[in-house]
Amino acid sequence: MIQFFVHGFISTFRGSRTYWLWVTFLLAVSLIGLNAWARQLAHGLATSGMGDEVSWGMYIANFVFLVGMAAAAVMMVIPAYIFKDREMHKIVVLSELFAVAAMVMCILFVTVDLGRPDRIWHMVPRLGYFNWPGSMLTWDVLVLNGYLLLNLYVCFYVLYSRFHGRKPKPALYIPVVFLAIGWAFSIHTTTAFLFQGLGGRPFWNSGLIAPRFLASAFAAGPSFMILVFLFLRKSGAITFNDQVIGRIRVIITVSLLINIFFAGSELFAEFYSDSKHVVHFSHLFGLHGESLLAPWIWTALGLNVAAAILLLSPARRNQGVLIVACMMIIVGIWTEKGLGFVIPAFIPTTLGDFVQYVPSVNELLVCVGVWAFGLLVYTLMLKGAIPIINREE
């Protein structure tokens, strides 16, 4: 086992100039984010744009988006392990490694949102009050950490077996893979229930949140993986045929159309019924006074619709068009699912005040730092895993 880790460690120190520039950039941005978090620890959450009125901002918005990105790994796992797709099997470990990196980022975003992370001991069973199974937050903690461990085990076992030139024994990892598939759906559903269960926030009291979360995740996650796969193939790190991209493109297209349909259905129900709770949606879309969120949500919807049109057109087989569509989906769903979902629930406040939320520079630096650290972790894991994957080929 020591040889396995030493091999992976040494592999991370071998790379081209571009690789080192990328790693150095991510490390520098991570340290800038760490410095910003240290400033937040010293001066409190007053360094962020959040306050008594809007108490969840960019941190939770990114957390929600990344839970979906982690869960989306299942869209590559199902064809590889259930439908025995040999081409997909070559690269499925790469998506499982991204699920690990995404879960690391999720945990970091929750940690920075705590303000006082030392108080997390209150959730330790026996020492504190975990409040399981009554609290949805405790369910979320369990499923997120469980999903992280499942993916770590599968990636470690498969790569460790291949490193030693052995074929992985199905009995030792296939049951875990199937458990992880079900678990992937549960992590995003539980996160959705965490919002839906807050009765004091009517903006989130919709039965469509869980299926919308899953549909958007299965569009954004595979879009990101297509960009990664195409980059790695172009750089010569891995090989696979175009059928893999075609299958993932179909998954993205169907998921994106379902997400747009769900969003339209939800908007119809809110605006046609014209209930008192529609004020949150009216403010979000700029139909009820000044709204800083309006340009973002209109842009997000425009990007999603435009990407759907591109993916349905004959131009979808053009690699450049596909890359543009994937980038539009990632940005559109991050905006819709983050800024357009978390923050509007606090505007207007329970007292009826319309408070504008603007993230502070320090808050943005923390967010960028967490993203950079997550991508750094993913880059290093890829660097260690790809030589082992290619060795088998």
Instruction: Say if CB 29 and CB 368 are below 8 A apart.
Output: yes
Rounded to the nearest 10°, the torsion over CA 363, 367, 372, 373 is 100
Question: Measuring CA to CA, how many Å separate 168 from each of 155, 156, 160, 163, 165?
Answer: 11, 11, 9, 10, 9
Instruction: Say if CB 308 and CB 260 are below 8 A apart.
Output: yes
Report the chain's mean pLDDT, rounded to a whole number.
91
User: Mind spelling out the 3-state secondary structure of 50-101?
Assistant: CCCCCCCCHHHHHHHHHHHHHHCCHHHHHHHHHCCCHHHHHHHHHHHHHHHH
For 220-248, write each residue's pLDDT tens digit.
999 999 999 999 999 999 988 888 999 99
Q: What is the mean pLDDT of residues 72-98?
A: 85
Instruction: Say if CB 248 and CB 240 are below 8 A apart.
Output: no
Q: Which residue has the higher pLDDT, 36 or 84?
A: 36
Q: How confident is the model at residue 118 (pLDDT cuts 50, 70, 90)?
A: confident
For 155-207, write each residue's pLDDT tens digit.
999 999 999 988 889 899 999 999 998 998 989 899 999 999 888 899 999 88
**From CA 216, how far away is CA 135, in angstroms rounded?**
26
pLDDT at 393 > cutoff 70: no
Instruction: Say if CB 323 and CB 230 are below 8 A apart.
Output: yes
Q: What is the mean pLDDT of residues 356-381?
A: 96
pTM for the predicted model, two decimal places = 0.94
Token pair for 94: 């790469």
Token pair for 72: 């989306």
pLDDT of residue 127: 81
Total length of the chain: 393
Task: Give the CA angle between residues 197, 203, 209 to the nearest 5°.
Answer: 60
Q: What is the mean pLDDT of residues 119-139?
A: 83
Residue 294: name the closest of 245, 352, 357, 383 by CA: 357
pLDDT of residue 45: 93
Percentage above 70 pLDDT, the chain: 99
**From CA 343, how far away is CA 383, in angstroms rounded?**
37
Task: Give the CA angle between residues 347, 348, 351 to the nearest 5°.
Answer: 135
Q: Environment class of residue 19 by beta-carbon count within 10 Å: exposed (0-12), middle (13-18) or buried (19+)?
A: middle
Token pair for 335: 């905006």
**From CA 146, how far away is CA 177, in angstroms rounded?**
13
Place of tokens 């991209």: 245
Instruction: Say if CB 379 and CB 76 are below 8 A apart.
Output: no
Q: How confident is the model at residue 59 (pLDDT cuts 50, 70, 90)?
A: very high
308, HSE (Cβ side, Cα atoms, 13 Å):
18
Q: Which residue has the higher pLDDT, 138 or 360?
A: 360
Q: How confident is the model at residue 53 (pLDDT cuts 50, 70, 90)?
A: very high
**From CA 8, how far away is CA 96, in angstroms rounded?**
17
Q: What is the mean pLDDT of residues 304-321?
A: 95
In the chain, the N- to C-terminal Cα span, in Å, equals 22
Q: How confident is the model at residue 392 (pLDDT cuts 50, 70, 90)?
A: low
